[in-house]
């Protein structure tokens, strides 16, 4: 079955540091890949997505590239802010598969 | 604005009681989902529905029940058979079940069993 493995947290960085959160996946066929973000006490919000190999999703300064050869979808941001503190989830959804499979989430804390 | 409304935001239950969590969407989405979130375990799928009057079990359906009598509504009942119901419950919807469609989530309901 499909699975997503995420970098374990928590991750603590100083403001303006470079961020990478690793995500690798196992799936048959050509899944769509997503990063969701959850701010404290809230539901999940879509951060970015990519639907085919070599696509780059981007939003709010975050980027992730769909790498089929390494089955990865790592999240990056060049300069993080305190407001980026949240839990980040990598997820995949198989083609024609209604189930969204999530990683365990990575808690990110940015200190001023 | 379109979105998903979950209620209540916080709920306390005594052991042996059934409780129902509400989920309403005005996005005209066909597919709706219930996930459970526990610390360190990510999100796990409880039930999903692709269309009115139809629903399927997810990965952890035991102790839960759902109904889909209206397109906009997908309530979840946590029954007394659920052995460890304390968790954060998230409802989501998408236009249909195809892989590229994004799920829109509600703000969640936190259930605590006393």
A19-66 pLDDT per residue, tens: 999 999 998 888 999 999 999 888 899 999 999 999 999 999 999 999
Mean pLDDT by 10 residues, chain B (114 residues): 90 91 96 91 90 94 97 96 92 80 90 91
Contacts of A112 (CB under 8 A, 6+ apart): A14, A15, A82
**Shortest Cα–Cα distance, B41 to chain A (Å):** 5
DSSP B35: E
The least confident of A68-77, A89-98, B53-62 is: A89-98
Other beta carbons within 10 angstroms of residue A56's beta carbon come to 10
Cis peptide before B8 (omega within 30 of 0): yes
N-term to C-term CA, chain B = 36
Helix %, strand %, coil % of chain A (to 5): 5, 55, 45
pLDDT at B30: 92
Residue A99, burial from CB neighbour count under 10 angstroms (0-12, 13-18, 19+): middle
List the 34-73 stretch of B: residues with Cβ below 8 A of A: 35, 40-45, 48, 50, 58
What mean pLDDT is reported for chain A? 92
């Amino acid at each position: 079955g499909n699975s997503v493995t995420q970098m374990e947290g928590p991750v603590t960085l100083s403001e303006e540091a470079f961020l990478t959160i690793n995500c690798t996946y196992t799936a048959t066929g050509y899944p769509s890949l997503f990063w969701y973000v959850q701010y404290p006490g809230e539901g999940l919000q879509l951060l970015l997505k990519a639907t085919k190999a070599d696509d780059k999703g981007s939003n709010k300064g975050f980027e992730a590239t769909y790498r089929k050869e390494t089955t990865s979808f790592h999240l990056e941001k060049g300069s993080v802010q305190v407001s980026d503190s949240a839990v980040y989830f990598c997820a995949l959804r198989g083609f024609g598969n209604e189930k969204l499979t999530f990683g365990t989430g990575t808690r990110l804390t940015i200190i001023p | 604005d379109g979105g998903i409304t979950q209620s209540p935001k916080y709920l306390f239950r005594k052991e042996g009681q059934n409780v129902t969590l509400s989920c309403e969407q005005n996005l005209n989405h066909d597919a709706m989902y219930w996930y459970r979130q526990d610390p360190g375990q990510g999100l796990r799928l409880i039930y999903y529905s692709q269309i009115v009057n139809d629903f399927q079990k997810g990965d952890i359906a035991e102790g839960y029940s759902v109904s889909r009598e209206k397109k906009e509504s997908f309530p979840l009942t946590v029954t007394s058979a659920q052995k460890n119901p304390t968790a954060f419950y998230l409802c989501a919807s998408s236009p249909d079940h195809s892989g590229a469609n994004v799920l829109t989530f509600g703000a969640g309901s936190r259930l605590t069993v006393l």
